[in-house]
Amino acid sequence: MQLEKSGRPASSDDALLHSRRDMIRDDIAKRLRQVCAHLSDEEFAKLVDAMADQKLKGERSRSL
């Protein structure tokens, strides 16, 4: 994703993707936090990020 100098997404499509990713990430984190309590904060963040990216990838492939 390209960002402007301000750190914001460069286009409205990028903004929507960023917003959607944040929503997915928050939902996954909320659901998994107690189940993955044994993971460090860094490990948990990596897991949630990977799962959010995979979910977005699946959504994009289905929309094509």
| 32-54 residue pLDDT tens | 999 999 999 999 999 999 999 99
The residue extents of the domains of the chain are 12-63
Report pLDDT for 1: 42
**For residues 1 and 18, is the Cβ–Cβ distance under 8 A?**
yes
Cα separation, 48 vs 43, in Å, equals: 9
pTM over 0.85: no
| pLDDT value, residue 4 | 52
Give the per-residue pLDDT at 30: 97
* pLDDT of 63: 72
